[in-house]
Amino acid sequence: MKLPALTLNQKLAAVVLVLGALALFSTPHRGPVVTLDTLELALIVEKEVDHVTPSELAGWIVQGRSDFRLIDLRAESDYATYHIPTAENVTVAALPEFPLLRTEKIVLYSDGGIHAAQAWMLMQAQGYRAVYTVLGGLEGWKDEVLYPALPAQASALDRARFERAAAVARFFGGEPRAEGGAAAPAPRELPRLAAPAPSGAASPAAPRKKKKEGC
């Protein structure tokens, strides 16, 4: 090869300039068209890795974590009546237009879970990857977080867990169900929206202390 005598650095500079010039024509961002790998999606569904349990979510909120967006998919009026603290209200129809980044962790919930699951699929189709649904939806949240119950014939471990859950329930303005009282499903009033103050400053000490003990 009869190239002018270039030093290694000059050759590297030439290569990098060529690559840079070619990159002028690059379109490295993929457009709105997404190829869905149905097998992959099916596996996600089967392994249930797309779920966040209500207790996990409660833990995140108590800790004041801000690395996820919580989306309430219900109607505005339902949202106004009660929603999980820190949730943003977006209906399924409004979801495609809602400014969410594809790098964000997104947690969806609806009343039961069907709308959330459907919205999950829609978001997959738009290339959102880190999308999760709250297991059992708002109903699951009520059962597990707001009004936890002690199972009949509870072991010591169950009792300890219940104690913790009760502290978390009170944090969110709910109340634990009376011991062994799974059979008393009196219609409960949902906590007032003002009651649970999720973000950092004003959080009551109880659940936090629990956390610290855990460490």
Would you tell me which residues interact with another protein (CB under 8 A)?
Answer: 9, 13, 16-17, 19-21, 23-30, 40, 44, 49, 101-103, 127, 129-130
Q: How far is the CB of 17 from another protein (least distance, A)?
A: 6
Q: Closest CB to another protein among 26 and 77?
A: 26
Q: Closest CB to another protein among 96 and 173?
A: 96
* CB count in 10 Å sphere of residue 148: 23
> Rg (Cα) of the chain, in Å, rounded?
24
Contacts of 150 (CB under 8 A, 6+ apart): 158, 159, 162, 176, 177, 179, 180
Q: Closest CB to another protein among 69 and 115?
A: 69
Q: How far is the CB of 95 from another protein (least distance, A)?
A: 17
Q: How far is the CB of 191 from another protein (least distance, A)?
A: 28
Distance (Å, whole) CA 71 – CA 99: 12
Q: How far is the CB of 126 from another protein (least distance, A)?
A: 10
* CB count in 10 Å sphere of residue 174: 23
Q: Cα separations (Å) of 169 from 35, 44, 175, 198?
A: 42, 30, 6, 13
Answer for the pair 113, 131: CB distance below 8 angstroms, yes or no: no
Q: Closest CB to another protein among 21 and 156?
A: 21
E strand or H helix that includes residue 108: strand 105-109
Contacts of 178 (CB under 8 A, 6+ apart): 184
Q: Closest CB to another protein among 45 and 154?
A: 45
Answer for the pair 151, 123: CB distance below 8 angstroms, yes or no: no
Q: Closest CB to another protein among 137 and 198?
A: 198
E strand or H helix that includes residue 105: strand 105-109
Q: How far is the CB of 19 from another protein (least distance, A)?
A: 5
